[in-house]
Amino acid sequence: MEETVGPSEMIVHLGPQHPMMPGPFRLNAKLRGETVVDSEVEIGWIHKGIEKILENKTYLQGITIVDRICYLEALTNEEAYVGCVEKLAGIEVPERAQYIRVIMEEFSRIQSHLLGMGEYASFVGFVSMFMYTIRDREDVLTLMDSVTGARVTHSFLRFGGVKDDLPEGFKDNVKYVFGNLRKAIDQYEELYSTDSIYKSRTVGVGVLTADVAKDIGVSGPPLRATGVAFDIRKDEPYLVYADLDFKVCTQKAGDVYARIQVRLDEMRESMYIIEQCLDQIPSGPLFPEGTPYGKRSPVMRIPAGEVFHRVEAPRGEMGFYMVSDGSDKPYRVKVRGPVYPTLQTLPPLLKGVSVADIVAIAGSMDTCTSEVDR
């Protein structure tokens, strides 16, 4: 962005600490009156150096570190990381463990969408929605807590399996929570679709076209809201997703309203997936039998090689590129987060909108700066 300003223009710095921001990033917006002429995103306020940290930790210690990339996506981050190691070492995950992973990752999708939607609603001035979604998210987190022992940073996956089995009576608890959650999601949809003020602020605002989104490398709900049915769970199935019945939720419009609608539909689809898994889940071991892999994996040396493994995180495509040199620590890990490209859509999308719409557009992207900076 040009730093020079013309007559009747000014530069407004939004952030890094700003109530509308989901994390610390700075948006430098050049304004002419109320209209954004140009803008630029600056990041780096919470750069944690996770890629360097991972090079200095053993493979098992890395599981805890990748949780901290973004706490809402903790389980899908673990899945991508653990999947890399399993591909390199050639570990086969038993079927029961795969089902448990799918159940937990779909739970993490539901709670991430609930929080993202609630935050976004509070940005556009719909603060009571935030209270509703946080209330329902708490029930989901309690269910996850009963399996993993933690609400947000789980450290639940292990190489070749999962740490714990599902607890007693889990299916009944899920049934009870989903009964309430289904009603709540229907209620959110009704609130969103009947509020004329909300609709006039979101319909046709911040339209991302499919061509631009593909060019920028966007994935996840912002891309699916433009009509592109791109979902790693379908295109490159991992775990048992190939055996499950679910559809990829898409919308045509590509505006703020469509992005929220995609998230609402995805939560319903995730609940459907979890119910299928709970019906189909076979009994069996949690770790491959006859191997040293288990709850307390010894220090492992992974065969030299390199791998790129990607999974569908709540916000889109999460990929890990891992290079191993045969030692007990990864030689290089590159984290490809879904929000990194999504945040780059802001400058082209904000061109020409009014200041009040910045919040709606940035919020509907459901960005996570912690994951962008790493």
Which residues contact other proteins (rule: CB under 8 A)? 43-44, 47, 49, 51-52, 214-217, 228, 230, 235-236, 306, 308, 310, 317, 319, 321, 323, 331-332, 334, 336, 340-341, 344, 373-374
CB of 72 to other proteins, least distance (A): 20
352 C-beta neighbours (distance < 10 Å), count: 11
Contact 78, 66 (CB under 8 A): yes
CB of 372 to other proteins, least distance (A): 8
Whose Cβ is closer to other proteins: residue 159's or residue 230's? Answer: 230
CB of 90 to other proteins, least distance (A): 13
Whose Cβ is closer to other proteins: residue 27's or residue 115's? Answer: 27
- In 3D, which of 133, 159, 198, 140 has the Cα closest to residue 60? 159
CB of 222 to other proteins, least distance (A): 13
At 324, which helix (H) or strand (E)? strand 316-324
Whose Cβ is closer to other proteins: residue 118's or residue 316's? Answer: 316
**Cα(313)–Cα(140) distance, integer angstroms:** 17
Whose Cβ is closer to other proteins: residue 15's or residue 161's? Answer: 15
Output the CA torsion sign for 29, 30, 32, 35: negative
CB of 211 to other proteins, least distance (A): 10
Going by C-beta distance under 8 Å and a sequence separation of 6 or more, which residues neighbour residue 313? 73, 76, 77, 80, 220, 338
CB of 10 to other proteins, least distance (A): 22
Whose Cβ is closer to other proteins: residue 52's or residue 135's? Answer: 52
Full DSSP string of 270-295 = HHHHHHHHHHHPPP--SS-TTSS-ST
Whose Cβ is closer to other proteins: residue 162's or residue 218's? Answer: 218
- Radius of gyration in angstroms for the set of CA atoms belonging to the chain, rounded to a whole number: 21
- Number of helices (H) and strands (E) in the chain: give both, helices first: 15, 8
